[in-house]
């Protein structure tokens, strides 16, 4: 038996002390599609970056056709026949299809390294021909639709003689037509012996395109199975793992008046039909996978996106189109998904804490310095922000402390309705627990909280109710105490659980 | 990060930042450092430099650049840039001069007209930038040409003479031995400093320049802030025009040519970040004085005006290079 095309043996990678990938072994055979499943943060991306030469593993080895290889950078990987197609495509939209396919390896002639355009075109045509797709090599990439652009990326990998192509959530933004086209290309290349690693969040795609499926959880490989041996329910159970212990401090909900209600919300192409309500003294979770539209829903409510359809009520009063200023005045707060979008990093803790409540700290436009200082010092103490120097630039704080400054800004503005977009993203475990505690304090103090997150366990731990979003719609709502993680994941992914 | 200069003891949550460390003082800007070096050198090199009258002369010559640079500072901190202020200044001065000389408008009203012209031009800049979502650079580049053109139209391309004595006094007179224009510049600088550090408008400017997205999420009205900051730059240009017309004892449409670049140079030498969010009036004044002292000193050293341009260019780049190095070195 000949050795497998690519083999990973006990590969590990640590980031800041936590294992992103922990002792994973994986075998990929020629002419197969290997589906990789796992929740966000399970280690899929890191593992693939290791294979693509972007990240160097701390331990373990990579073998290609039985030969141990070392990869220093993506070019090494490419030379060894491993091509990666990222979710965010890496084409240059202003250049032609042919130029993009040959980019980085343009064939030249003569002493002046003049590009041989004829050869560029021929190579592009050959690659597109192997895919069996009809794309004009002279077309500008920016004028192609997303599905076609993806095929161009695959053609680029093929033109470099890739034997293994990694596809990172290739269908997340595709229409079903484009998806069929992509699958046809994959099947055609499979026949030539090209192997694929296919990362997906869509369970229904597993039997459609996969031969083998592997599930990752918390950086570890849970299992590798033939697709024929598994069903949706098994896969979900493998992804979620054992039931979560009670690791989240929780308060009993005593819901008061209705704080916020949205009905039939639609905005742009990411938010299509969202309905939910949240009361004071209650925490509502907004679950959903990446790209389900969670962020956009919160931004729309906060007045940062144009409302196309639907209605919003705050404190029982309907509001139409409004601005963040008006939202803040009505007591809303938005903690953005990326902390950097909430903070002016080079400015002080004090500057950032009072930024959303300048009106409360001024009179006729004149800042009240002592009042401002008092607010800042109180918040720094109350939130245990470290180091407790209000003049310190926020840039110098740790991620968890920066997040506390963001929350502090909204406490300072006397917000009562908190929209938190993935508030524990990228902060360490200790800081996470502090953020959970803060959310509980908000709830005890009678605030209404909406938390968007793709961490199902987190949502089940801190929420009273959970609304699940899929492709811009709220598809189901659960009582957090009566739902299993499997149910939520199934609703978010559109699979079924018997 | 290490505490530099031992500013605050560990558990101190007080806001006041008493006692600057040496590094932090140095951190106030490469401009201060360059200025001190220049003064020391020129004092030793030429006997006529270290003289009160010479310093008053420098102050007089720097005042118009200072007034324009104060407006420019706020614009640049807000992550904008105003290339039109030289032309706006010329237009405002010409409008005032024509109003007084040709139409016999009362002096007070004419001065007000100059200020209004400046504010209106600034408003137009800010409005088109924020509402039309056109880059600051493009809009004010257009303004640079258009406002100068309007000034030429207003004056028919001719210098306007016969400026009232009161205006001439503002431009070249003294008050208690100090040039009136320098007093004017000091007042404008204090106003600019106060706006930036003590008002909600100043906060909005700093936040918008530092991180536009964060400012928006925090409820800062970006459109209003942008328009206001350009209005302030226009107002400064209007104020500068009065002193300029007084100093020239005439008005002409080309009197502002190139002044926008001097103002930007002063702001940059003063350590304000060209990408916005960081900087202050104090640094800008140091920048203005550095440029003034340099020009004066090179005159005293009998260096030709041609070489002065070269030296100024080198100094601008050298100061910024030093500033970058200092920030990297000490992380400030």
**Which DSSP category does A417 fall into?**
E
In this prediction the ipTM stands at 0.83
- Touching check for A69 and chain B: CB below 8 Å? no
Contact B203 A367 (CB under 8 A): yes
Query: Do A421 and A362 lie in a common domain?
Result: yes
- Touching check for B220 and chain A: CB below 8 Å? yes
% of chain B exceeding 90 in pLDDT: 69
d(CA A409, CA B180): 45
- Name every chain B residue with its beta carbon within 8 A of the beta carbon of A328: 218-219
Per the CB < 8 A criterion, the answer to whether A300 and A308 are in contact is no
DSSP bridge pairs for A165: A83, A196
Q: What are phi and psi of A333, to 5 degrees?
A: -140, 140
Sign of the CA dihedral running A318, A319, A324, A326 = negative
Token pair 């499979």 in the structure block, residue: A190
Query: Do A231 and A292 lie in a common domain?
Result: no
Contact A362 B200 (CB under 8 A): yes
Query: Do A192 and A76 lie in a common domain?
Result: yes
Give domain status of residue A252, yes or no: no
Per the CB < 8 A criterion, the answer to whether B277 and A346 are in contact is yes
Give domain status of residue A351, yes or no: yes
Burial class (CB within 10 angstroms; exposed 0-12, middle 13-18, buried 19+) of A408: buried
CA B63 from chain centre, in angstroms, equals 9
Per the CB < 8 A criterion, the answer to whether A162 and A81 are in contact is yes
Query: Do A304 and A395 lie in a common domain?
Result: yes
Distance from CA of A304 to the nearest CA of B (A): 8
d(CA A448, CA A451): 10
Confidence of residue B3 (pLDDT cuts 50, 70, 90): very low
d(CA A61, CA A129): 35
According to the model, what pLDDT value does residue B5 have?
Answer: 35
Strand ranges inside B66-216, DSSP E: 174-175, 178-179
Query: Do A195 and A283 lie in a common domain?
Result: no
Please give the structure tokens belonging to residue B292: 């003034």
d(CA B326, CA B23): 10
User: Angle at which helices B200-210 and B222-248 pack, to 10 degrees?
Assistant: 110
Structural domain for A226, as ranges: 6-240
Query: Do A476 and A410 lie in a common domain?
Result: yes
- Touching check for B330 and chain A: CB below 8 Å? no
Query: Do A66 and A209 lie in a common domain?
Result: yes
Which residues, at least 6 apart from B254, have a Cβ–Cβ distance to it below 8 Å? B90, B148, B151
Continuous segment of H or E residues that includes residue A12: strand A6-15
**Which DSSP category does B72 fall into?**
H
Q: What DSSP line would sit under B156-177, residue for residue?
A: TTS-B----HHHHHHHH-EETT
According to the model, what pLDDT value does residue A245 have?
Answer: 42
d(CA A171, CA A147): 8
Give domain status of residue A484, yes or no: yes
Per the CB < 8 A criterion, the answer to whether B38 and B294 are in contact is yes
A344 closest CB neighbour out of B14, B17, B211:
B211
Interface mutation target, options B6, B14, B27, B203, chain A, most CBs of A under 10 Å: B203
- Touching check for B218 and chain A: CB below 8 Å? yes
Of A186, A199, A200, nearest in space to A157 by CA: A186
**Which DSSP category does A165 fall into?**
E
Please give the structure tokens belonging to residue A319: 């509001």
Of the residues A240, A272, A296, which one is the last residue of a structural domain?
Answer: A240
- Touching check for B13 and chain A: CB below 8 Å? yes
Give domain status of residue A251, yes or no: no
When computed from its CA atoms, the radius of gyration of chain B, rounded to whole angstroms, is: 20
Burial class (CB within 10 angstroms; exposed 0-12, middle 13-18, buried 19+) of B323: buried
Domain count for chain A? 2
> Which chain A residue lies closest to B211 (C-alpha atoms)?
A344
Strand ranges inside chain B, DSSP E: 174-175, 178-179
Per the CB < 8 A criterion, the answer to whether B279 and B76 are in contact is yes
Query: Do A226 and A275 lie in a common domain?
Result: no
> Which chain B residue lies closest to A366 (C-alpha atoms)?
B199
Give domain status of residue A50, yes or no: yes
What CATH number has the domain bearing residue A169? 3.40.50.300
Query: What pLDDT tens digit does each residue of chain A (498 aa) get?
Result: 678 899 999 999 887 656 788 899 999 999 999 999 887 667 888 898 899 888 888 899 999 988 888 888 888 888 899 988 887 778 888 899 998 888 877 887 777 778 888 888 888 998 888 888 888 888 898 888 888 888 898 888 888 888 999 998 887 667 777 888 889 889 999 998 999 999 887 777 888 899 999 998 888 898 898 988 888 778 877 877 644 344 465 666 677 889 999 999 998 888 999 999 999 999 999 998 877 889 999 999 999 998 899 999 999 999 877 899 999 999 999 999 888 899 999 999 999 999 999 999 999 999 999 999 999 999 999 888 888 889 999 988 877 888 899 999 999 999 999 999 988 876 665 667 778 888 888 888 899 999 998 778 788 888 999 999 988 899 989 988 888 888 888 888 876 543
Of the residues A240, A271, A301, which one is the last residue of a structural domain?
Answer: A240
**Which DSSP category does A401 fall into?**
H
CA A134 from chain centre, in angstroms, equals 32
Contact A341 B213 (CB under 8 A): yes
Query: Do A229 and A294 lie in a common domain?
Result: no
- A401-420 residues touching B, CB cutoff 8 A: 409, 413
- Touching check for B9 and chain A: CB below 8 Å? no
Which range among A70-79, A203-212, B204-213, B303-312 has the greatest average pLDDT? B204-213
CA B229 from chain centre, in angstroms, equals 13
Of B251, B254, B64, B256, nearest in space to B163 by CA: B251
So what CATH class is B52-322?
Answer: mainly alpha
Q: What are phi and psi of A89, to 5 degrees?
A: -65, 155
Give domain status of residue A444, yes or no: yes
Confidence of residue B255 (pLDDT cuts 50, 70, 90): very high
- Name every chain A residue with its beta carbon within 8 A of the beta carbon of B15: 350, 369, 373, 376-377, 390-391
Query: Do A224 and A353 lie in a common domain?
Result: no
Contact A390 B15 (CB under 8 A): yes
Q: What are phi and psi of A197, to 5 degrees?
A: -110, 125
d(CA A80, CA A54): 14
Strand ranges inside B176-320, DSSP E: 178-179
The number of C-beta contacts closer than 8 angstroms across A and B is 102
Of B174, B196, B185, nearest in space to B289 by CA: B185
- Touching check for A376 and chain B: CB below 8 Å? yes
According to the model, what pLDDT value does residue B9 have?
Answer: 36
d(CA A166, CA A186): 11
Give domain status of residue A188, yes or no: yes
First to last CA, chain A: 40
d(CA B293, CA B39): 8
> Which chain A residue lies closest to B18 (C-alpha atoms)?
A391
Neighbours of B175 (CB within 10 A): 12
For residue B76, is pLDDT > 70?
A: yes
Query: Do A304 and A270 lie in a common domain?
Result: yes
Residue A394, SS3 per DSSP? helix
Q: What is the pLDDT of residues B36-70, one digit of tens each?
A: 888 999 999 888 888 888 999 999 999 999 999 99
Burial class (CB within 10 angstroms; exposed 0-12, middle 13-18, buried 19+) of A76: middle
Q: What are phi and psi of A83, to 5 degrees?
A: -115, 145
Query: Do A101 and A54 lie in a common domain?
Result: yes
């Amino acid at each position: 038996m000949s050795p497998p095309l690519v083999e990973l043996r006990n590969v590990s990678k640590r980031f800041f002390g936590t294992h992103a990938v922990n002792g994973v072994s994986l075998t990929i055979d020629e002419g197969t599609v290997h589906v990789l499943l796992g929740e966000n943060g399970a280690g899929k991306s890191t593992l693939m970056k290791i294979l693509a030469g972007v990240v160097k593993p701390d331990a373990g080895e990579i073998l290609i056709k039985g030969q141990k290889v070392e990869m220093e950078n993506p070019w090494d990987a490419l030379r060894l026949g491993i091509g990666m197609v990222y979710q965010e495509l890496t084409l240059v939209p202003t250049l032609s299809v042919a130029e993009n396919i040959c980019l980085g390896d343009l064939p030249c002639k003569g002493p002046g390294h003049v590009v041989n355009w004829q050869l560029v075109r021929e190579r592009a045509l050959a690659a597109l021909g192997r895919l069996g797709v009809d794309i004009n090599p002279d077309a500008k990439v920016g004028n192609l639709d997303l599905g076609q652009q993806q095929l161009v990326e695959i053609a680029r990998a093929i033109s470099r003689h890739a034997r293994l192509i990694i596809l990172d959530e290739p269908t997340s933004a595709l229409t079903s037509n484009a998806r069929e086209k992509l699958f046809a290309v994959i099947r055609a290349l499979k026949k030539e012996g090209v192997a694929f690693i296919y990362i997906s969040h869509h369970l229904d795609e597993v039997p459609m395109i996969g031969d083998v499926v592997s599930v990752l959880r918390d950086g570890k490989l849970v299992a590798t199975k033939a697709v024929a041996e598994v069903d949706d329910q098994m896969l979900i159970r493998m992804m979620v793992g054992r039931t979560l212990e009670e690791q989240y401090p929780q308060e009993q909900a005593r819901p008061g008046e209705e704080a916020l209600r949205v009905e039939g919300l639609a905005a742009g192409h990411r938010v299509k039909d969202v309905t939910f309500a949240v009361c004071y003294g209650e925490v509502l979770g907004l679950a959903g996978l990446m790209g389900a539209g969670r962020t956009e829903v919160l931004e729309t409510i906060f007045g940062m996106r144009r409302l196309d359809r639907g209605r919003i009520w705050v404190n029982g009063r309907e509001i139409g189109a409004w601005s963040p200023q008006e939202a803040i005045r009505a007591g809303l707060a938005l903690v953005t998904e990326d902390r950097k979008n909430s903070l002016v990093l080079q400015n002080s803790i004090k500057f950032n804490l009072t930024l959303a409540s300048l009106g409360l700290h001024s009179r006729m436009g004149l800042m009240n310095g002592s009042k401002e200082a008092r607010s800042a010092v109180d918040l720094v103490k109350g939130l245990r922000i470290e180091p407790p120097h209000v003049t310190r630039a926020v840039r110098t704080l740790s991620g968890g402390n920066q997040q506390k400054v963001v929350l502090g800004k909204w406490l300072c503005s006397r917000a009562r309705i908190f929209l938190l977009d993935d508030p524990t993203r990228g902060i360490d475990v200790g800081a996470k627990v502090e953020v959970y505690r803060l959310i509980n304090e908000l709830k005890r103090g009678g605030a209404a909280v909406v938390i968007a997150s793709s961490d199902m366990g987190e949502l089940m731990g801190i929420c009273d109710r959970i609304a699940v979003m899929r492709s811009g719609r709220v598809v189901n709502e659960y009582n957090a105490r009566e739902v299993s993680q499997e149910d939520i994941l199934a609703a978010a992914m559109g699979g079924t659980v018997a | 990060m290490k505490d530099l200069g031992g500013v605050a003891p560990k558990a101190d949550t007080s806001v006041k930042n008493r006692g600057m460390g040496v590094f932090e003082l140095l951190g106030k800007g490469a401009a201060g450092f360059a200025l001190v070096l220049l003064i020391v050198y020129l004092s030793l090199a030429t006997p006529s430099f270290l003289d009160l009258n010479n310093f008053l002369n420098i102050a007089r010559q720097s005042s118009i650049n200072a007034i324009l640079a104060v407006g420019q500072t706020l614009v640049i901190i807000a992550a904008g840039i105003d290339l039109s202020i030289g032309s706006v200044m010329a237009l405002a001065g010409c409008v005032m001069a024509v109003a007084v000389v040709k139409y016999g408008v009362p002096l007070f009203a004419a001065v007000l007209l100059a200020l209004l012209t400046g504010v209106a031009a600034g408003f137009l800049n800010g409005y088109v930038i924020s509402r039309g979502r056109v880059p600051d650079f493009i809009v004010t580049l257009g303004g640079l040409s258009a406002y100068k053109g309007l000034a030429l139209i207003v004056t028919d391309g001719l210098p306007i003479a016969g400026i009232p004595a009161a205006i001439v006094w503002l431009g070249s007179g003294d008050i208690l031995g100090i040039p009136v224009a320098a007093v004017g510049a000091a007042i404008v600088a204090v106003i600019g400093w106060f706006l930036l550090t003590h008002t909600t408008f100043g906060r909005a400017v700093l936040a918008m320049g530092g991180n536009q997205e964060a400012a928006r999420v925090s409820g800062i009205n970006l459109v209003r802030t942008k328009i206001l900051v350009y209005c302030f730059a226009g107002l400064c240009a209007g104020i500068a025009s009065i002193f300029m017309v007084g100093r020239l004892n005439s008005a002409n449409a080309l009197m502002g040519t190139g002044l926008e670049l001097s103002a930007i140079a002063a702001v940059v030498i003063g350590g304000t970040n060209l990408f916005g969010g960081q900087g202050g009036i104090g640094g800008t004044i140091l920048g203005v004085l550095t440029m003034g002292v340099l020009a004066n000193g090179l005159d005293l050293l009998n260096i030709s005006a041609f070489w002065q341009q070269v030296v100024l260019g080198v100094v601008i780049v050298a100061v910024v290079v030093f500033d970058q190095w200092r920030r990297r070195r000490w992380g400030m």
